[in-house]
Amino acid sequence: MQLNMLVLTDIHYVGKANHICGIQERKSKQALELIQEVFESVERAKIDLVVLLGDLVDNGKASGAEEDMVALQKEISKLGKPVIVAPGNHDNCPKTVFEIFNDFEGLHNVNGYQIINFADRYAEDDSSERDMSAMENMFKDINPDQPVIALQHNPIFPPIESSYPYNLIRADNVMEFYTKKNVVLSVSGHLHRGTSAEIRNNVCYFTCSALCEAPFSYALITMTGKESDIEVRNL
């Protein structure tokens, strides 16, 4: 049993949106070109799934941002692979994100793997929290004999020292739940520099670095059984 995932996160696209990105390091206007470069640098035939881990646009509340998200969807669809999305704090409305990408929050089955994507809640200060009862409900139909992969925007582990709230609130509770439910891999975005894969209580935690900032990163994850091989590439 094998699964090959292409992971993109923190694209922060600004095309037609009435918005100016105030952070110079983010190459928000170049997002479509960066995605094209990614697609040119991978072996398309080997990819089973594209994973998007949020902050697809830089300001989902701006007029025109929905058009930008549609443009992203059209560009990503050129790869001809299924897409699973975990919306981020900049994307504004998870329902809109899922509608545009023809996706949903919850359990997906791909190549024998059970993949659960989360649309976590955001406060005004960008802190993020998960509805634990909703998470338990998403896991009620999982097959204990098949590996589980969790996808979310905010990092779960390791703890990130910062005044900005990168980690999910009550991440420890989520980690305990992941271990109990035999999650083999948890993949996040949000922290633009990313973190290396780290195993804690039999769960591999990985935070992918951002596509929008140098060195313009993405990840290729190959699952073989319960084992994950994670390769970070820079454009």
pLDDT tens digits, one per residue of 221-234: 999 999 999 999 99
Name the 3-class secondary structure at 196.
strand
pLDDT band at 19 (very low <50, low <70, confident <90, very high): very high
Percentages of the chain per state (helix, strand, coil), in multiples of 5: 25, 30, 50
Prediction pTM value:
0.97
Angle between helices 65-77 and 31-41 (to 10 degrees): 10
CATH number attached to the domain at 2-234: 3.60.21.10
Residue 59 is encoded by which pair of tokens?
């300001």
Whose CA is closest to 108, among 128, 88, 86?
86
Domains of the chain, by residue range, sit at 2-234
CB atoms within 10 A of CB 177: 16
Q: Give the C-alpha separation, 111 to 114, whole Å.
A: 9
pLDDT tens digits, one per residue of 81-123: 999 999 999 999 999 999 999 999 999 999 999 999 999 999 9
Write the single-letter amino acid at 234: N
pLDDT at 55: 98
pLDDT tens digits, one per residue of 172-201: 999 999 999 999 999 999 999 999 999 999
